[in-house]
Every structure is written in C-alpha cells, then in structure tokens.
Amino acid sequence: ISNSFRDIETMYSQKIVLMGNEELQGNLKRAFGTKFSFLKMNQIQNANLIIAVDFFENESLYNEANELAKSFNIPFLRALLQEEQLNIGPIFIPNETSCYNCFISRKITNCENSYLSYKFLKKYNSEWNEEHISVMSGTIEMFSFHILSFVMKYFS
C-alpha cells in the first residue's frame, strides 16, 4: 500500500506548462485543482509535460509546443475542442514518438483527397475566430476532466 501512495505522491508532484486558449487553460487549472503544479513559460525547463489546448487545429500553437518539447526534451500533449468533438492526444515524446508535423501530415495524407483536406483545414483555421465558438454547456468542463484523466494515466 505504501508503494501505491508513493506512486500517487510522485504523480502529483509533476509540473505542467499550459499553452493555448486562455479560457481552456483556466478550465484545466480548475479541473486539475491543486494536484499538479503549473509553471509559467519562463520555467519550462523544469516542466514534466506541456499541454497545448485550443478550439481548433491551431497548427502554429501545436508547432510551437512541438519545438519547445524537442528543445527541452519534454513530452507535449495536443488537445482540442472543436465544436462538439473532443480530441485529446496523441502525446508527443521527443526522440521516442513521431512529432506533431509528422502526425498532421499523416492525418491529412490518409484522407481521401489529401490536397483538398489540407486546403479545407487551412481555410477553416484562417477563418476561425472566438465568435464562432459554440459548444454545449458543460462541454469545456468535460473536456478538461478528460484531459486530467489522460494526464493521470500518462504519469501513472
């Protein structure tokens, strides 16, 4: 039993850097409570995980998180809440898994018409703005708790 408590204690000592949409970051902090420490960007070298969140496939955000993950050798979790669709993961681990660029490239090339799919993704993302966010009540909170569950599984 003492080993189990030690494992839980170790899990809760992990340090996380959040990136992306401010509203989603705030909800994540509330969902995670005091279990994990959140670091500011200037303390990223001490982090155990980067979580990047947004309301769409924000390539610039996820590319930035990917570069930071590689630079500091820290895993990074991609999470997005697109209308009513939750996308959590994959988790990118430097020198162990593929990077974000490989992931998005593979995701698009597996579509029936990859050129049109990529063109649609670019157009959709370029036209996106905060007014278009229309999620059902409680979806953001549910999304945040799903991320918490994902992170707890990763650290355990």
Q: What is the CATH number of the domain that holds 67?
A: 3.40.50.720
The two tokens of residue 27 are: 């909800």
Contacts with 25 (C-beta within 8 Å, 6 or more apart), sequence order: 18, 19, 53
77 — phi, psi (to 5°)? -105, 125
Number of domains in the chain: 1
Partners of residue 78 on adjacent β-strands: 52
What tens digit of pLDDT does each residue of 69-115 get? Answer: 999 999 999 999 877 778 898 899 988 888 887 787 777 676 666 65
Rounded to 5°, angle at Cα 146 from 152 and 126:
120
- The structure's pTM equals 0.81
Report yes or no: 128 and 11 within 8 Å, Cβ to Cβ.
Answer: no
Give the integer Cα–Cα distance in Å for 49 and 128.
27
Q: How many residues does the chain have?
A: 156
Instruction: Note down the domain range covering 40.
Output: 2-155
Rounded to 5°, angle at Cα 76 from 72 and 80:
145
What tens digit of pLDDT does each residue of 6-45 get? Answer: 555 666 678 999 999 999 999 999 998 877 889 999 999 9
Per-residue b or e along 40-54, where b marks 16 or more CB atoms closer than 10 Å to that residue's CB: eeeebeebbbbbbbb
